[in-house]
Amino acid sequence: MAPMKAIVKSVLSGDTLILRGRPGPQGQPPKERILHVAEVTSPRMGSSTREDEPWAFECREFLRALAVGKEVTFTPTHPLPSNDDVPRDFGQAEINGLDLATELLKNGWAKPSEKSKREPNEEDLKRKDLENEARNGMKGMWNPQGPKPYTINHTMPLDSQAFMTEWKNQTIDAVVEQVRDGTTLRVRLFLPENVHQMANVALAGVRSAKAASRQGEVAEPWGEEAKFFTESRLLQRAVRVQLLSLPAPTAQPFAASAEGAPPASASMFIGTVLHPAGNIAEHLVSTCLARVVGWHTGLLANSGGMERLRAAEKQAKEKRLYLYANVTESTNGKGNSSSVTVANGNTRTFDATVIRIWSGDQVSVLEKDSGKERRLQLSSTRCPRSSPADPKQSYWASEAREFLRKKLIGKPVRVHVDFVRPREGEYEERECATVRFGNQNVNVAELVIEKGYASVVRHRRDDEDRSSDYDKLMAAEQIAITDTRGIHSNKEQTLPRIGNASETYAKANQFLSGFKRLGRVPAVVQAVTAGSRFKVLLPKENQTLTLVLAGIRAPRAGRGERERVEVKPEPYGQESTEFASRRYMQRDVEIEFESTDKSGGFIGAMYLNKTENAAITLVKEGLAAVHTYSAESLSWANLLLEAEKEAKAAKKNLWSDYDEATEEADQIPQNGAVEALKPEYMDVIVSDVRTSPTFGFSVQILNTEGIASLEKLMHDFSLHHRTANAIPGFIPRSGDLVSARFSDGSWYRAKIRKSSPGKKEAEVTFIDYGNQDTIGFKDIRPLDPKFRSLPGQAHDARLSFIKLVTADSEYHAEAIERFRSLCEGRKLIANTDFREGSLLHLRLMDPSDPTATEDPLACINADLIREGYASLDRQNCKYLTSYPQMLQKLQDAVAGAKRDRLGMFEFGDVEEDDD
């Protein structure tokens, strides 16, 4: 038979070859045949069920190194029965003019076949001479020391995890024993102490189509071509293997460790296989026979392997062959990232400022050029969501949001929209973007994932709508998983308990004095409900509260229906709320507390960047107006008025139609009238009456937690001062809270009004009763901190609408005495008609007076006028006209006193003209 040519695909043993022909025009696998080298025999290789014969591995290795991948000229001498349609023959073979049988015999790796049925001929004798020559030279199998002992493990390691831990990222010499498909190999690893470990390795970062694994099975398109590509280059070649990982399911951040870890015995390793000619994975991709697997990015990040694979993928897409023949560029994603706009018509790349953090993977930004607000999803990023059923996930959701808030809120960023996720069901259309910040252009998503606050979305193989830095995100996730950071840790985490200090009026008052002592308190704005109303968190105190900016009133924005009553928006209410939201939402601020309102809200000042007073900023922008009466007591009242004056001059927002002349004209007939307050009845007791420098009194508001707490405090206060010692040289200062001994010999809490070190005495106000006195330094001590938390229970007050006769009147002493008899030390009902800073304007009613049950306007204020001891105070009570019924009642009382010549009207009409 005429000689034929073929390529040696592999070597089964020291005397048997698998040959193949040339590939087809599109890389189709050629046909194969088995050739047994005639007239020689070598030991047989073993399997999982039987051991290698002595010298079998060494004989095969000699022939493998000599023949694999090379062209062979062979002549079949006689055929053998075929095996699975693969022809089998005995025959002669040459490589580069060298006869294989001769080379095997000469080097001692084969023996001549035994010829028992005929006499040896010349060729037989020549082969016998070659054998004797090798024997005499102690070559190959004739080495008297025998074969080197080795251990071969045909199955994967029983403890694959331990094996991976020992050999991860190390370079191991190996031989490829089998190619299952283009990217899955079975290799013989050469380990120390002559251990041969068989292992299955999937090439990291790539995946080819599946090839047929048994006869009759249909391969996936281009699966056989990929297998042949790898076989023709790697099968039975010496390679270097790096094991990188065990196959594991998609990252399950909140799964228990037993569930998330790979099994002890795995069927596959993930790694790289390196040949002197290069990395087969990169060649497979560039030849269009494998696709890049993004979720292996983390394994290849340090070596730069993924960047090389992406470069190969780019070449493959340009060729448009085999697996990439039908590749189309995404209309939304990276393939079209050079376009100026995205599918929804918005700008693709722009500068912006972050104005809100929705979660660890969603932010809202304000586009710099257009001023448009855009809500963005970080591309290919998924952070945990708050869930009552999963405290750990809720904890990390909160941590992720807080991490982004500290990093980004109010900061400039550079945005590149990768793709637009269309609306689907209940989910709105969402722009998915890569957001960068800082001088180093740090990718926000990469940072969040590396810190362990989020995971990477696993996209479908053909889904090109993904982050433009997808590989870097995968590498960041691998770092987080390796270091067990954040959501990848097994630590149990729960959210801290956050209280609500504004839950009730009483609860707010309990916190007020403590907050005021702290001065400026660090806080975070959690929500903006109106231009001057915020929900804030005090992180150190673990409390949330409602904050109302003192001294201003912002217009309301409509909020639909509340309690079945439609809340209508006021002009510029929406603009005021939006401005406050964009400027203060989620910002770190400082709060100074002044007081509380009846709904439990705290009234005070809010500072951004330590210097910017939010109230002044809103007024300056014309988005809030100064509330004159509440602003008068504030230290920054003049700044508020100046800001409002500036906004009016610029005709900003609320003042767009402002006319100074018209306002002055309107104020003349109004005479400063203010809006009446809603009735607010409360039980009080008049604890102190003062006549100097002017008439006034103090009340305690009963039936409150404060009064109940005061009784216990005074008991503890008394016990404390039985053992407390005086502090030598103590000099109190104005404004200090102290303990002071009253004339009855008991100690009470007091506040220094004026200190006179020369006289060694101080004027004090007893804050729980309101009375004032001058006390010597010997009877004053610093107030122990444990008695400071309860606010003073005495409230300064005056009578609404009226004023007692002046001190120069002969009826003054009689009027004071009459007031004392009606009020001092008695339990009364009071209604607040006006608040002048901390001074309450009260209407007092005697619950034991039968007239009060019949006439709702009956009050001690009217009685004092009717008896001639008081008159209308038109000058200091500008709210008089806001209570027309009460004003009429008082005017009738004045007329009655004049008619009956009572009190100061005994000798005629002596009422002062306040008009």
Task: Quick: pLDDT tens for 823-833.
Answer: 988 889 999 99
58 has pLDDT over 90: yes
The mean per-residue pLDDT over the stretch 47-51 comes to 89
Helix axis angle for 705-723 and 505-517, nearest 10°, is 40
pLDDT at 101: 92
Give the integer Cα–Cα distance in Å for 94 and 4: 10
Mean pLDDT (the chain, rounded): 86
Q: Please, which residues bridge with residue 430 across strands?
A: 421
Report which of residues 596 and 425 the model is more confident about. Answer: 596
> What is the per-residue pLDDT across 161-217, written as a single tens digit (0 to 9) for each?
899 999 998 999 999 999 999 999 999 999 999 999 999 999 998 999 999 888 778
The pLDDT tens digits for 74-110 are 999 888 888 777 889 999 999 999 999 999 999 999 9
Which has the higher per-residue pLDDT, 498 or 117? 498
What's the pLDDT band for 713 if we cut at 50, 70, 90? confident
- pLDDT number for residue 249: 53
Burial class (CB in 10 A: 0-12, 13-18, 19+), 78: exposed
Strands 772-776, 761-766: parallel, antiparallel or unpaired by DSSP?
antiparallel
Which helix (H) or strand (E) covers residue 415, if one does? Answer: strand 412-421
3-state secondary structure 309-345: HHHHHHHHHHHCCHHHCCCCCCCCCHHHCCCCECCCC
pLDDT (tens digit per residue) in 883-913: 999 999 999 999 899 888 888 887 766 554 4
State the pLDDT confidence band at 535, using cuts at 50, 70 and 90: very high
- Rounded to whole angstroms, what are the CA distances from 346 to 349, 365, 516? 9, 13, 48
pLDDT of 563 = 39
Residue 605 pLDDT > 70: yes
Predicted confidence at residue 461, as pLDDT, reads: 66
Q: b or e along 753-776 (b: 16 or more beta carbons within 10 Å of the residue's beta carbon)?
A: eebeeeeebbbbbbbbbbbbbebe
pLDDT at 814: 92
Sign of the dihedral through C-alpha 688, 689, 695, 700: positive
Reported as type and span, the H/E element at residue 406 is helix 391-408
pTM of the model: 0.58
Residue 553 CA to residue 549 CA, distance in Å, equals: 8
Query: Which pLDDT does position 40 carry in this prediction?
Result: 92
Give the per-residue pLDDT at 915.
40
Strand pairing category for 455-456 and 442-443: unpaired
Cα torsion angle, 815, 820, 822, 828, sign: positive
Per-residue pLDDT, averaged over 384-406, amounts to 88
C-alpha span between 21 and 3 (Å, rounded) = 14
Compute the Cα dihedral for 347, 349, 355, 360 and give only its sign. positive
Summarize pLDDT for 612-630 with one digit per residue, the tens.
999 999 999 999 998 876 7
- How many angstroms separate the CA atoms of 741 and 727, rounded? 14
Q: Residue 317's CB: how many other CB atoms inside 10 A?
A: 14
Q: Which of 510, 488, 491, 490 is CA-nearest to residue 499?
A: 510
CA distances from 534 to 528, 548, 618 (A): 5, 7, 13
CA 274 remoteness from chain centre: 41
Q: How far apart are CA 175 and CA 186, in angstroms?
A: 9
Q: Helix 470-482 crosses helix 305-319 at what angle (to 10 degrees)?
A: 150
Confidence band of 259 (pLDDT split at 50, 70, 90)? very low
The residues, ordered by sequence, that sit 6+ positions from 343 with a Cβ below 8 Å of its Cβ are: 331, 332, 419, 420
pLDDT at 668: 42
CB 40 within 8 A of CB 59: no
Q: Which of 371-375, 457-461, 575-579 is least confident?
A: 457-461
Q: Could you say which DSSP state residue 486 is in?
A: G
Residue 583 has pLDDT above 90, yes or no: yes
Question: What does the pLDDT look like over 359-390, one tens digit per residue?
Answer: 999 999 999 988 899 999 999 999 998 877 78
